[in-house]
Amino acid sequence: MNRSAKLFVVAGLLAVVGMAFRVSWNALKDVAHTIGADTVAAVVYPLVVDGLMAVALVATLVLEGRDRRFALRVLGFYTAASLVLNYDHGLMPGIHAGTGHHLADWSPANWALVLLATSLPVGSIYFGSDLVAKVLHHKPTAAAETPAAAPAPLAAPTPNATAAAASVYLPKPAPLPALPAPKPRKRTGKKSAPPARRTLPELLAEARQLAPDQTRSAEALRVALRCSAANARAVRDALAAEQAPTAAPGLHAVTDPESSPANEPEPTTAEDESGESAA
């Protein structure tokens, strides 16, 4: 609702309340004359009753909680009292004409109405002062002072509260279906399969085609031929036997006759030299 519409509603409400107050003013003034009030008191009497109703209404809009309920009870009581006195004023024409001296023809009802009419001014002093004090000492709550655009910060959940909330609100996960067994992967490397089992002659034939540095030891032969250590040693021994020099059967070594010690001249002694010279 825009501001102009609000102002129109408030102005209309004030006009209706003013006219209703004027209608009730006449009845309450005549009732005050009947219970013995003078002219000035009779003119002020409607303000005591209907005026406190307005104060209680404003207090109801300001106060909260138990104080608001108290203001509502005061507003309801004075509204009912004003209604009863206005109703009695309509039933008793003598009150309006100023010739009647009773508020009701039946004595108990007259006593009750006189008690009600005379207690309203005293009640206005008490209840009106209490309502004004409550309004002056009223402090708005923190929720009312907090702007609507700034929500209150949320407290961090504790681990226990989070686990409890998850166990209550989160559905249990469904069991996962069984996965198929993985297929064996194909070898994509360049590594070739090991050679088939070979005999010793086959290994020896391959060893003859190797470089000399690959046949210098059994370990080098094992790596080059990709065979067991026993086969490598056998191949090494066979290669060593092939490379060793062989002598013809029945032959023996002949020495050089010139280098034989028998052909060397015997050394001459001093005695021999002297004999030869004497001869």
Q: How does pLDDT run across 147-188, given as a tens digit for each residue?
A: 555 555 666 656 665 556 555 555 666 676 666 666 666 666
- Residue 90 located in a structural domain: yes
Higher pLDDT, 178 or 104: 104
Asked whether residue 236 is assigned to any structural domain, the reply reads yes
pLDDT tens-digit profile of 187-237? Answer: 665 555 555 677 888 888 888 888 777 777 888 888 888 888 888 888 888
DSSP label at 36? Answer: T
Q: What pLDDT score was predicted for residue 270?
A: 45
User: Which string of DSSP letters, residue by residue, matches 18-81?
Assistant: HHHHHHHHHHHHHHHHHTT--HHHHHHHHHHHHHHHHHHHHHHHH--HHHHHHHHHHHHHHHHH
- Please check whether residues 47 and 114 belong to one and the same domain: yes
Say yes or no: 36 and 111 in one domain.
yes
Q: Using the 8-state DSSP alphabet, how is residue 170 labeled?
A: S
Domain that holds residue 136: 3-141
> Which residue matches tokens 């052909």?
263
What's the total number of domains in the chain? 2
For residue 123, tell me if it sits in a domain.
yes
User: Alpha carbon of 23 to those of 89, 95, 103: distances in Å?
Assistant: 12, 15, 19
Task: Give the count of alpha carbons within 13 A of 26, CB side only.
Answer: 9
117 pLDDT band (50/70/90 cuts)?
very high
Average pLDDT rounded to a whole number, residues 1-8: 81
Task: Determine the Cα–Cα distance for residues 80 and 123; give it in Å rounded to an integer.
Answer: 14
Cα–Cα distance for residue pair 37/29, rounded to 1 Å:
9
Q: How many CB atoms lie within 10 A of CB 265?
A: 5
Q: Cα separation of 94 and 100, whole Å?
A: 4
Phi, psi of 151 (to 5 degrees): -70, 150
The fraction of the chain above a pLDDT of 90, given in percent, is 21
Does 266 reside within a domain?
A: no
Q: Which amino acid is at 170?
A: L
Length of the chain: 279
